[in-house]
Amino acid sequence: MRWGVLGCANIAKTSVIPAIQEVEGNQLIAVASRDLEKAKEFSKLFNCKAILGYDTLLASTDIDAVYIPLPTGMHHEWVINALNCGKHVLVEKSAVSSLAEAKEIIALARTKNLAIVENFQFQYHSQHRYVKDIMENEELGEIRCFRSSFGFPPFSIDTNIRYNRKLGGGALLDAGAYVLRATSFMLGEGFEVASSFLRMNPKFNVDWFGGAFLVNKSKGIFSEVAFGFDNFYQCNYEIWGSKGKITSTRAFTAKSGFKPTILLEKHGFKEEIVLPEDNHFRNMIKHFNQVVKSNKYEVEWENILSQSKLIDQVFSKNGNLS
């Protein structure tokens, strides 16, 4: 896979580009910026070309796929542009800002027969396979509910895009996206948002923190999620069953070199299990390669549609606490 990157985002520099270059058969061709000097400085770190302008990179014939780590509010435009230029797309979460935008990009991807994958890299950390094995072995009994929290202390107020409404800021499209995706990833599709709460920040006019209650009627289970900015740090999920409970204490940000801890509790039993380190970014790139190689894009398209539907429902159900 020959890659191009739109923008010089920190996550590209610290995590995704190194993962691309570590996976055999992948090559970073170019990085584009609206500031040529910034692109040149960035490209020196990775021995690739610096390109002025995202459109110029997309027009390159020596690039197969693009990674888009731009602010969420810019994703729709540049995913569309990338698809129209015949590029497969790995796009940062949240992939888009609404279900309407999701339907548009997926319809185009189907027409072009191209992959779009939303970069929820945490799904490819081996700790979650461990948790799923515990569930499948029925060590927890019948599953009753899922709970997840993701929130963090303040970032730089002056520079952080999370606080910019025009760029798709707000806690739901950022931290909230993780806990919604974790619900579906761990317990399957079919959840609907029954109620939600979003607390707005009047200074920035974005949602600052919130939560939601989701129900999967066919499975008879529910999910409670919470997310936000300006919080005590939380990064976890727990799955509660009739016989026990299991908790991932570092569910979304278990970086390479970090050994995550899983807490398993049963009647009269409690154990902390330290699992091996893993690199979910590298695993994500391997997954993307396999999606393109197999020409099986439908699952990833449906994941984006399902996730965008839940985000829309959290927005629309805000304040519906009856």
Residue 70 near residue 9, CB atoms below 8 Å: yes
Q: Which residues are catalytic?
A: 93
CA atoms within 13 A on the CB side of 66: 31
Residue 52: strand, helix, or coil: strand
Give the tokens for residue 163.
């606080």
Residue 172 near residue 201, CB atoms below 8 Å: no
Residue 49 near residue 43, CB atoms below 8 Å: yes
Q: What is the rounded CA–CA span in Å between residue 149 and residue 176?
A: 9
Residue 199 near residue 152, CB atoms below 8 Å: no
Strand partners, 118: 91
Number of Cβ within a 10 Å radius of residue 51 = 25
CA atoms within 13 A on the CB side of 45: 13
Residue 14 near residue 46, CB atoms below 8 Å: no
Angle between helices 177-187 and 126-136 (to 10 degrees): 40
Residue 29 near residue 64, CB atoms below 8 Å: no
Task: Give every CB contact of residue 118 below 8 A, 6+ residues apart in sequence.
Answer: 91, 92, 93, 94, 95, 300, 303, 304, 307
